[in-house]
């Protein structure tokens, strides 16, 4: 069975054109996915920034008078403990701070 050369060329061009169309579709989907991912990342960055701002407004950074730790961030209107020495730190809703040293010498009276 002989296939004319012209038919083979047409078949080759048709396959080539189909593959080119397929690649264009893949590229468009990839671009759309990339744009969607960038939009999601931008939204997440915006939401994270808003959350960080909210936490900054609702909490106070406290330096522990007992050990000097600066890593304590406590929400207004709550009580927490120094993460290094255990000193109780109370922060009022107005941002006032009170400290209560831990009772280490309870057994020595």
pLDDT digits (tens, 9 = 90+) for 59-87: 888 898 888 888 888 888 898 888 888 88
Beta-carbon neighbour count of residue 70 at 10 Å?
10
Top pLDDT among 6 and 70 is at: 70
Give the mean pLDDT of 15-43.
87
Q: What are the boundaries of each domain within the chain?
A: 5-100
Q: What is the pLDDT confidence band of residue 107, given thresholds at 50, 70 and 90? A: very low
- The whole-angstrom separation of Cα 100 and Cα 66 is 10
- Please calculate the CA angle 109-69-65 and round it to the nearest 5 degrees: 50
Phi and psi angles of residue 94, each rounded to the nearest 5 degrees, phi first: -90, 0
What pLDDT, on the 0 to 100 scale, is given for residue 104? 55
């Amino acid at each position: 069975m002989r296939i004319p050369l012209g038919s083979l060329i047409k078949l080759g061009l048709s396959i080539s054109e189909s593959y080119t169309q397929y690649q264009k579709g893949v590229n468009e989907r990839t671009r759309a996915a990339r744009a969607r991912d960038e939009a999601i990342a931008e939204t997440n960055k915006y939401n994270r920034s808003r959350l960080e701002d909210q936490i900054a407004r609702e909490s106070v950074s406290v330096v522990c008078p007992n050990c000097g730790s600066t890593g304590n961030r406590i929400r207004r209107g709550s009580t927490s403990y120094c993460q290094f020495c255990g000193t109780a730190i109370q922060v009022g809703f107005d941002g006032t701070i009170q400290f209560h040293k831990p009772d280490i010498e309870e057994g020595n009276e």
